[in-house]
Structure 1
Amino acid sequence: MKGLFSALLVPFDEEGNIKEQGLREIVRQNIDVQQVDGLYVNGSSGENFMLTTEQKKAVFKIASEENNGDVKLIAQVGSINLDEAIELGKYATELGYDSLSAVTPFYYKFTFDEIKNYYNAITEATGNNMIIYAIPALTGVSVSMDQFDELFQNEKIIGVKYTDANFFMLERLRKKYPNKLIYSGFDEMLIYGVVSGVDGAIGSTFNINGKRAKQIMELCHAGKVAEAYEVQHVTNDLIEKVLDLGLYQTLKEVLNVKGIDAGICKKPMHSFDSGKKGEVKQLVTDFDL
């Protein structure tokens, strides 16, 4: 379960339907071209929180079929509807996903006991392993060290997708829990996570820039940190331009330019500004995507 995982993009048509063939193409792009070690399915990058339960199941099924055992699969099932999270967790487990993941429950100001019970309920009902998805900038939920101590008492909670800029806590987690999986969640800070000893990374830009991200990891592991920084600089130049144009819209448009049917984003997200397609074509050329 170590290595680089793409947070899988999901293509939609104008009516918000999943484009099945396009999704299969994106799965293959990640595995065959970007050479990722795994896929993180139905996360933020898959626009998960705007999907119906049946659409989420369809994404799990299509991704699993197309992967066909090639790489590891993590199913993000988190929801503030616990019944839905358990239903999705059971479904993904039946499909053979290697682990579940779940975002911390958000919107309502849940107590820590409520958050802990949520994770325990999912793991108990599904029998599968769990990777906590900690992303306080979007959920408003920060997990303290003492709280991680409690969560990790559940042996089924095998790690965390750590999308947080608090690298002091990351170092403390790594030191205290050498046997738990820790994944870096910020693509633009990948090198700092690798130097801190993470087991892998999960990110949206790996759908188009996975090879470069793997290079950062490999260089760091070989002790060539200065060279890894040079690759991170190039990566962050790309990320800056992608963010300027619109994150998910631009990632999809890069794939569209490359002949992969990545569709558009699901409403209420805007579609890509077609007037900027030339800038995306230039990105593809300039960064050898």
Structure 2
Amino acid sequence: MKGLFSALLVPFDENGQIIEQGLRDVVRFNIDVQQIDGLYVNGSSGENFLLSTEQKKQIFQIVSDENKGKVKLIAQVGSLNLNEAIELGKYATELGYDSLSAVTPFYYKFTFQEIKAYYETIIRETGNDMIIYAIPALTGVSMSMAQFDELFQNEKIIGVKYTDGNFFLLERLRKQYPNKLIYSGFDEMLIYGAISGVDGAIGSTYNVNGKQAKQIWDLCQTGKVAEAYEVQHKTNDLIEKILELGLYQTLKEILNVKGIQAGTVKQPMSSLDPAKKDAVKHLVEKYEL
């Protein structure tokens, strides 16, 4: 379960329906071209929180079918509706996903004990392993070292997707829990996670730039940090441009430019401004995507 995982993009048509062949092609592109080690399915990059339960199941099924056991699969099943999270967790487990993941409950000001019970319930009902999805910038939930200590006492909680800029807490977690999986969640900070000893990374830009991300990762593993920084600088130049144009819209358009039917984003997100399409083509050429 170590290495780089793409936070999988999902192609939608103008009516918000999943483009099945497009999704299959995105899976193949990640495996065959980007050569990633795994797929993180139905996370933020998959526009998960805009989807119905049936759409989420459809995505889990298509990805599992197309993957055919080639790379590791993590199913993000987190939901404010605990019954939905359990239903999705059972479904993904039956499909053979290697682990579940779940975003911390958000919007309402849940107590830590409520958050802990949420994870324990999903684990108990599904029987699968769990990777906590910690992304305080979007959920408003920041967990302390003591709270991670309490969660990690559960052997079925095997790690965390750590999308946080608190590198002191990251260092403390790594030192205290060498046997738990820690995934870096910020693509633009991959190098910092790598030199901090994380076990891998999960990111949206790996759908189009996975090969460079693997360069950064591999260079850090062999102690070539200065060389890794040069690749990270180039990667971050690209990420800056993608963010300026619109994150998910631009990532999908990059795939469209490359002949993969990546469709558009799901409303209420806005489709890519047609005036920006030439800029996206320029990115593909300039960064040799």
Normalised-by-shorter TM-score class: over 0.9
Q: Aligned-pair distance for 1:57? A: 0.1
Deviations 1:15-74 (A, max 9, x none): 100000000000001000000000000000000000000000000000000000000000
- TM-score normalised to the size of structure 1? 1.00
Partner of 1:67: 67
Partner of 1:93: 93
Corresponding position: 1:53 with 2:53: yes
Partner of 2:214: 214
Secondary structure in 2 matching 1:56: helix
Q: Aligned-pair distance for 1:258? A: 0.3
| Cα distance in 2 between the residues matched to 1:23 and 1:67 | 11
| Cα distance in 2 between the residues matched to 1:204 and 1:107 | 23
Deviations 1:204-245 (A, max 9, x none): 000000000000010001100000000000000000000000
Amino acid at match of 2:35: Q
| Cα distance in 2 between the residues matched to 1:143 and 1:256 | 38
Q: Aligned-pair distance for 1:117? A: 0.2
Give runs of ≥4 in structure 1 deviating > 4 Å. Answer: none
Unaligned 5+ residue runs, structure 2? Answer: none
Alignment of 1:136-151 (within 5 A): 136-151=136-151
Secondary structure in 2 matching 1:96: coil
Q: Aligned-pair distance for 1:272? A: 0.6
Partner of 1:157: 157
Partner of 1:34: 34
- TM-score normalised to the size of structure 2? 1.00
Corresponding position: 1:13 with 2:13: yes
| Cα distance in 2 between the residues matched to 1:165 and 1:276 | 30
Equivalences, count: 289
Alignment of 1:242-253 (within 5 A): 242-253=242-253
Secondary structure in 1 matching 2:201: strand
Corresponding position: 1:196 with 2:226: no
Q: Aligned-pair distance for 1:276? A: 1.1
Amino acid at match of 2:113: D
Q: Aligned-pair distance for 1:77? A: 0.1
User: What is the percentage of aligned positions where both structures have the same residue?
Assistant: 80
Partner of 1:25: 25
Deviations 1:92-112 (A, max 9, x none): 000000000000000000000
| Cα distance in 2 between the residues matched to 1:218 and 1:174 | 19
| Cα distance in 2 between the residues matched to 1:3 and 1:274 | 36
Alignment of 1:204-243 (within 5 A): 204-243=204-243
Q: Aligned-pair distance for 1:132? A: 0.1
| Cα distance in 2 between the residues matched to 1:282 and 1:218 | 28
| Cα distance in 2 between the residues matched to 1:114 and 1:80 | 12
| Cα distance in 2 between the residues matched to 1:121 and 1:38 | 26
| Cα distance in 2 between the residues matched to 1:277 and 1:125 | 46
Q: Aligned-pair distance for 1:275? A: 1.0
Unaligned 5+ residue runs, structure 1? Answer: none
| Cα distance in 1 between the residues matched to 2:278 and 2:22 | 22
Q: Aligned-pair distance for 1:172? A: 0.3
Partner of 1:275: 275
| Cα distance in 1 between the residues matched to 2:175 and 2:288 | 37
Deviations 1:107-160 (A, max 9, x none): 000000000000000000000000000000000000100000010011100000
Secondary structure in 2 matching 1:36: coil
| Cα distance in 2 between the residues matched to 1:3 and 1:271 | 32
| Cα distance in 2 between the residues matched to 1:223 and 1:141 | 34
* CA RMSD across the alignment: 0.3
| Cα distance in 2 between the residues matched to 1:253 and 1:217 | 26
Amino acid at match of 1:155: E
| Cα distance in 2 between the residues matched to 1:133 and 1:253 | 27
| Cα distance in 2 between the residues matched to 1:282 and 1:15 | 28
Secondary structure in 1 matching 2:4: strand
